[in-house]
Amino acid sequence: MSTIRVDVSRCTLCGECVAACPFDAVEIVQGALHFTEACRLCRICIRRCPQEALALEERPREHTERGTYRDVLIFAEQHEGHVHPVTYELIGKGLELARELGQKLHVVLIGSGVRVQADHLLAYGPATVYVFDHPDLRWFRIEPYTRAVVRVAQEIRPNIMLLGATPIGRSLAPRIAARLGTGLTADCTSLSVKPNGDLVQTRPAFGGNVMAQIVTPGHRPQMATIRYKVMAPARPVQAAPGRVVELLCDEDLLRTDIEVLGFTPYELDRGIEEADVIVAAGRGIGRAEGLALIGQLAELLGGAVGVTRPLVEQGWADHRQQVGMSGRTVRPRLYIACGISGAVQHVAGMRGAEHIVAINTDPEAPIFDVAHLGLVGDLYEIVPKLIDDLKEGAALHGLP
């Protein structure tokens, strides 16, 4: 453990250190400098002191440095000013873990013109939202984003650090972990803490056939990426006492060897994660053309088409449509699984659906174990009939 030592013979109580402290951890109490628990030993005060009255006092190290790391830090992903919804799930889980440890939650937000989003995030209850706001940070580029998060991590020394398991989070997190020399667990579906502060990270392994419980006992921070749509999102809190801290975006931070030549947003593609209804196809459809039938049913129900991994590997469907462990996790109100056997790696991505219907010729198919309604039969007989009936119903009743 270390502390800041004050040479009282030199200190003039000028207040430079109080003003300089980014954590408001320095107070003048009854004519003496006092460092509160908020002190992160960042040493800015030592450099700023005109009297050279401050110094870092090193005490003998504990067996490990674990104890000096505290609080939870989450990465708030945003794109063009829109905060990714996984961020609220990270805040929700992060607050829960922090509360359990009697620690705080902090958020780091990076982008261009994102100050308003920082204020917005504050309403969800973090102690601090650290913001890097600069025109050069508009697009995700790995080097400046890594530096920004690492700067905050090195300053506050979090015990736990969480990112969304999105394409950006999954690119950024391993880079940060390698720089900090710490462990990272991908795609966690459950997190809890032990009383000693160890984070218990649960993720599906072997394609989702087993769950693995992973810990990072000897290294800090303990890092994990979290599957989107698995944790409950945070809600705005009544009293949000946190604050926004804008951090400097200097040349060192912004340096990059990557130039953004252009960006083409996905057209009207809200992604299957956002769909209320998903009709999904598995290997049982047998041929690529079968997907057209699935598409018709999805359209009639106002939904999207999902697929299992073999269909993506066959090249029949785009990986963005893939539901499951190595694809997307979805939580629609209705999920209709057609010709899907129900391999655990697929089920891991859709079991959160409110209503699950399965159509399969094999009554023993494991998909029926998770279905609320199981139809045993050939999808090529059932689905066309269903499409006809739905069209007829629509003609009769103006529905759906």
Partner 1 sequence: MHFVVCIKQVPEGTEVDIDPETGVLRREGADAKLNVYDTHALEAAVRLKEELGGTVTAVSMGPPQAEAVLREALMLGADSGYLLSDRVFAGADTLATSYTLAEAIRRLPPFDVIFCGMQTTDGDTAQVGPGIAELLNIPHVSYVTRIREMRAGAIAVDADTGYGIQTLRVKLPCLVTVTRAANQPRLPSYRLKQRTKDQPVTVWTSRHLAGADRSRFGLRGSPTQVERIFPPDRPTTRQMLAGTPDELSAGLIDRLREWRFL
Beta-carbon contacts of 24 under 8 Å, excluding residues fewer than 6 positions away, are 36, 38
Q: Which of residues 112-151 bind partner 1 (CB under 8 A)?
A: 139-140, 142-143, 146
**57 is a site residue for partner 1 (CB under 8 A):** no
Q: Which of residues 360-399 bind partner 1 (CB under 8 A)?
A: 363, 368-378, 381-382, 384-386, 388-390, 393, 399
Name which of 115 and 170 has its Cβ closer to partner 1: 170
Shortest Cβ 2–partner 1 spacing (Å): 23
User: Where would I find the H helices in 108-195?
Assistant: 115-122, 142-156, 167-180
Q: Which of residues 255-314 bind partner 1 (CB under 8 A)?
A: 256-266, 277, 301, 312-313
Contact 101/158 with Cβ under 8 angstroms? no
Shortest Cβ 264–partner 1 spacing (Å): 5
Instruction: Find, among 72, 276, 271, the residue nearest to 156 by Cα.
Output: 72
Shortest Cβ 266–partner 1 spacing (Å): 5
Per-residue binder mask for partner 1 (CB under 8 A), 326-345, x = binder: x------xx--------xxx
In this chain, which stretch among 62-70, 127-135, 201-209, 236-244 interacts with partner 1, using CB under 8 A?
201-209
Cα–Cα distance, 217 to 198 (Å, whole number): 6
Residue 157: phi, psi to the nearest 5?
Answer: 50, 70
Shortest Cβ 163–partner 1 spacing (Å): 12
Name which of 51 and 361 has its Cβ closer to partner 1: 361
Q: Tell how strand 72-76 and strand 160-164 pair up.
A: parallel
For partner 1, the binding residue among 185, 296, 321, 329 (CB under 8 A) is 185
Six token digits for residue 107: 């958020």
For partner 1, the binding residue among 159, 216, 296, 341 (CB under 8 A) is 216
**What's the angle, vertex CA 170, arms to CA 164 and CA 176, rounded to 5?**
95
For partner 1, the binding residue among 25, 33, 184, 294 (CB under 8 A) is 184
In this chain, which stretch among 14-22, 28-36, 165-173, 239-247 interacts with partner 1, using CB under 8 A?
165-173
Cα–Cα distance, 77 to 173 (Å, whole number): 12
For partner 1, the binding residue among 205, 237, 244, 254 (CB under 8 A) is 205
DSSP letter at 315? Answer: T
Cα–Cα distance, 351 to 335 (Å, whole number): 9
Name which of 55 and 142 has its Cβ closer to partner 1: 142
Q: Within 10 Å of residue 156's Cβ, how many Cβ atoms?
A: 26
Name which of 98 and 301 has its Cβ closer to partner 1: 301
Name which of 96 and 187 has its Cβ closer to partner 1: 187
For partner 1, the binding residue among 347, 349, 350, 365 (CB under 8 A) is 347
Residue 144: phi, psi to the nearest 5?
Answer: -65, -35
Shortest Cβ 83–partner 1 spacing (Å): 12
DSSP letter at 339? Answer: S
Name which of 206 and 246 has its Cβ closer to partner 1: 206
For partner 1, the binding residue among 2, 12, 154, 209 (CB under 8 A) is 209
Contact 300/394 with Cβ under 8 angstroms? yes
Instruction: Find, among 216, 225, 173, the residue nearest to 196 by Cα.
Output: 216
Q: Which of residues 230-259 bind partner 1 (CB under 8 A)?
A: 256-259
Cα–Cα distance, 360 to 292 (Å, whole number): 18
Contact 281/327 with Cβ under 8 angstroms? no
Name which of 261 and 395 has its Cβ closer to partner 1: 261
